[in-house]
Amino acid sequence: MVEDFKKYTMRNPINLKPMSNEEFNIFKSVASKYLKISDERGFYGVKANNCIDLDKDAKQILDELVVLRKSKDKQVHINFLAYANGMVLNKFNLFNCRNRIENTRLDEAGNVNTKYSIKAEQSVLGKSNSQTNIYIVIGGLVILSTLVILLTNKK
């Protein structure tokens, strides 16, 4: 009885007709990695709840679609996977993930540049301090040798 219930309550998201058991099994096998699918209520929704997971899911779906398009007789699989991709992308856009990810990348790039600049400045200052010490020592030796020469010549 549950099988008949699924058949008549779960609608095919592509053609909106009641989904057969075979179609439901294909839908579940293809989209269950990305969608929460309830057998009893005919409900399905996106599993991922953050921008990083949504982005990963969208990329994985595209990779799977490329593989499926190379196979023959997989149009139903492709349709269901494309539908899941649309749901993932809608949630991605709803969460404004593109801007969030871009802002995160910009922040990370700024942090990396700042760290690199600090290291570069420290290396320059380190060389500058060591060169200054060398010049002081050399200058001290020149003054000392001049003083020795002057003191030895006076006698």
| Cα radius of gyration (the chain) | 35
pLDDT tops 50 at residue 140: yes
What band does 1 get if pLDDT is binned at 50, 70 and 90? Answer: very low
Kind and range of the H or E run holding 35: strand 35-38
Question: What's the pLDDT at 16?
Answer: 87
Listed range (8-12, 53-57, 81-85, 100-104) with the worst mean pLDDT: 8-12
Check if the beta carbon of residue 26 is closer than 8 Å to that of residue 76. Answer: yes
Task: Report the pLDDT averaged over residues 26-45.
Answer: 87
Mean pLDDT of the chain: 87
Question: What's the pLDDT at 102?
Answer: 93
Q: How far apart are the C-alpha atoms of 126 and 119, rounded to whole Å? A: 10
Which residue in the block uniquely carries the two structure tokens 């290396």? 123
